[in-house]
Amino acid sequence: MEEKWLVGVDIGGTTIKMAFINQNGEIIDKWEIPSNVNEKGKHIPINIAKSINQTLDKLGQEKQNLIGIGIGAPGPINLATGSVDVAINLGWENFPLKNLLEIETSLPVIVDNDANVAALGEMWKGAGGGSKNILCVTLGTGVGGGIIANGEIVHGVNGSGGEIGHITSIMEGGLHCNCGKTGCIETIASATGIVRLMIEELSSNNVPSKLRDFYEEYQTLSSELVFDMANEGDELANKVIRKVTLYLGLALAHLANGLNPEKIIIGGGVSKAGDALLVPLKEQFTRFAFPRVSQGVELTIATLGNDAGVMGGAWLVKKGLLNKRENIPLHF
């Protein structure tokens, strides 16, 4: 191997995605393993280490050719120690991820919040296109986010910067959120929030809707189905999408008015709706944003998909280890 590789790791509640990535941001190999949450997730570091070794063997490479490991992990991160304060879906509490993985791999490790890391990936090789002032919002089961200013993640005083999903959008009478507050944008614009709003509409009136028949027969809905029916002109589905984009557009406008970003990138499963989401969202964003802010920003859909986390992890290594050590200017 002439060029040393970066290792990107994206830890989720179900799977752990990993990749070897060269210093130009090209994926050499990527794979995933199950997240073993038995015994409060204590086996995860050694499973990651074993999987890295196995993949090196498969490729006929040596560990000495790896520069380091960058990890996106769920939950608040203690940036000083690389430990995860709490990750309920993994069973972690004050979990020393960096220290354990460095022991298992003998490689330097950098840990950050998974949403922040995904934002870095999009900045480097995704929809960010090298822009250094970005809002990245992930609309999935919940709502995550990362804020990048001048090429740096905004962590804040205790690592809680970028909690876009917990902007209060409904001040009184909002749904209880997992964070302990009520009315968070996560309860509205997430995949689960969209389904909840749709069920509320179906339950509160008798307006004809294909979704009503589907829900009564199968007792299940998805955000994807809501967008599909909205595209077909379903009145209730469009009403829900208008409500979602109203609140999300308002929240993003408030953030943009303070940060004046170049790009707002929308990712996560809900973003697969494409223009059905983006067009009404842009309308609401423009309605609420300061005109000069609105003129300077581009709203766009994320492009890296499931690779955003591993690509961002690789960027952590590139920025935090390789370039610092060798005093090389960063290139996007």
Question: Where are the chain's structural domains?
Answer: 5-120+306-326, 129-303
What ranges make up the beta strands (E) of the chain? Answer: 5-11, 15-21, 27-34, 66-73, 77-78, 83-87, 92-95, 109-113, 134-139, 143-149, 152-153, 263-267, 298-301
Per-residue pLDDT for 311 more than 50?
A: yes
Mean pLDDT over residues 256-281, rounded?
96
Residue 294: per-residue pLDDT: 96
What class, spelled out in words, does domain 5-120+306-326 have in CATH? alpha beta
Distance CA 85, CA 160 (A): 11
Distance CA 130, CA 187 (A): 31
Mean pLDDT over residues 284-290, rounded?
98
Distance CA 232, CA 91 (A): 42
Residues 6+ apart with CB under 8 A from 153: 112, 116, 119, 120, 146, 147, 161, 162
With contact defined as beta carbons under 8 Å apart, do 271 and 301 qualify? yes
For domain 129-303, give the CATH superfamily.
ATPase, nucleotide binding domain (3.30.420.40)
Per-residue pLDDT for 322 more than 80?
A: no
Q: How confident is the model at residue 218 (pLDDT cuts 50, 70, 90)?
A: confident
Mean pLDDT over residues 26-54, rounded?
96
Per-residue pLDDT for 330 more than 70?
A: no
Question: What does the pLDDT look like over 107-121, one tens digit per residue?
Answer: 999 999 999 999 999
Question: What does the pLDDT look like over 149-176, one tens digit per residue?
Answer: 999 999 998 888 899 999 999 999 999 9
Q: Whole-number mean pLDDT of the chain?
A: 93
What the block records as the tokens of 219 is 């007792």
Same fold, 5-120+306-326 and 129-303: yes
Q: Which of 150, 138, 162, 164 is nearest to 267 (CA)?
A: 138
